[in-house]
Copies of this chain bind each other. A is one copy, B any other.
Amino acid sequence: MGNLLVAQSGGPTVAINSTLLGVYKASKNKVDKVYGARYGIKGLLEKNIYDLSKLLNGNNENLLKQTPASALASCRQKLSDSSKSTEQYEKIIKIFKDFDINYFVYIGGNDSMDTVNKISQYIKYSNISDIIVVGAPKTIDNDLVLTDHCPGFGSAAKYIATTISELERDCSIYPIPSITLVEIMGRDAGWLTAASALSRLNGAKGPSLIYCCEKTFCIDKFLKDIESKMKGYSNGIVIVLSEGIHDKDGKYISEYVNEPFMDEFGHKQNAGAARVLEKVVRSTFGCKVRALEINLMQRSAAHITSLTDIEESIKVGQKAVQCALSGMCGEMSTIIRKSNRPYEVEYSSANTSLIANKVRYLPDDMISKDGNDVTNKAIDYLKPLIQGELKIKYNNGIPLHLDLFKNIE
């Protein structure tokens, strides 16, 4: 049967450990041993490899579903181009042989799929037949191509929808005008920013304006948009924008910090887009203006997750194992949406050579014509992904997390 190795990579999500659980459960009776590499491909290269059955068992494995960030830790390491140097690849194959590893599942985002693609290409060209490498997706950015959506996104979207609904109430209780600018993660794709509109699902006002980074951002138009929203309105409004909003020349708004009219700022490294816009909005409208970033919380808030996302993340891990056991080297498991009402998906796979280093943007028909909100099509797409709540197990008043390496260090 041989052994299977799993590792995690890239930035944290709250669902990446559910995919690890799916990989573990789907493989533990199908292979001799299930190994986990700590610190992704970097740890693998350093033989930082553990027998997962010694770390996971029926008592603790369900805690993976509520543990944020990668339980196996992570890395940000790109493999070298194998046409230039095969050293890393030879080392990886040697380690696979040493540990009798026939299957390697790498859970991660775009860079991780690049790693899967590169190793599988090397295996192919080296005529290695007994090692199968596959990928399982994760990213809160939801920007991988060839999958309807990405594990981790639904929970981040639920956290954002909930948080914006709470902030909107917070900002509207005083009978005086105010403007709160909320910056949401997404340098290239505005999926998470769009999810802020879900805060309206129960009838609340939600964000008054939404700016996704797919559209050119024009400060003059932005100020006019605000003016029209403030007219006749005497409470606070919330405006949501992607960190990656940029002007017609592709320059990020966060890089405007040194522009003359932004002269209150020092250097760009200390300002995000919302913070840069805070001053120009304040000087234009003369009311209370706040800029805030949801920051790391949107990718690590495991205390509120979408049950749909958690369950799908497990299945995406199981599907990756199926691909590996079927010999589909270089594939990444994917989610295909069959229907919105009722929401139905099936699991499939696509080759990482078609996925790595590509970005899936929010399509034009999900952004309003004015470029300052999302369409019903976006809501129809997003809404199913945040449904259901994982029941969180608490201890001492805080959620329990699983530390896989607690007894090892």
List chain A positions with a Cβ less than 8 A from chain B. 12, 39, 42-43, 67-70, 73-76, 158, 161-163, 165-167, 169-175, 180, 198-199, 201-204, 263-267, 269-271, 275, 278-279, 290, 292-297, 299-304, 306, 383, 386-389, 392, 394-401, 403, 406
Contacts A264-B266, A297-B297, A303-B304 given; does A203 touch B406 at CB 8 Å: yes
- Contact at A173–B12, with CB atoms within 8 Å? yes
**Bound complex: CA A392 to CA B202 (Å):** 15
Partner of A169 from B69, B180, B275 at Cβ < 8 Å: B69
Contacts A292-B293, A303-B166 given; does A73 touch B173 at CB 8 Å: yes
Q: What secondary structure prevails in chain A residues at the interface with B?
A: loop
Residues of B within 8 A of A263 (CB): 266
- Contact at B161–A202, with CB atoms within 8 Å? no
Residues of B within 8 A of A162 (CB): 303, 398-399
Known pairs A12-B173, A202-B398 / 9 extra A-B pairs, C-beta < 8 Å: A39-B174, A39-B175, A43-B175, A67-B169, A73-B174, A74-B173, A169-B300, A203-B406, A290-B296
- Contact at B264–A170, with CB atoms within 8 Å? no
**Bound complex: CA A175 to CA B271 (Å):** 27
Residues of B within 8 A of A401 (CB): 165, 169, 202, 204
Contacts A169-B67, A386-B397, A398-B199 given; does A163 touch B301 at CB 8 Å: yes
- Contact at A396–B201, with CB atoms within 8 Å? yes
Residue of A163, A173, A203, A290 with most chain B CB atoms under a 10 A cut-off: A173
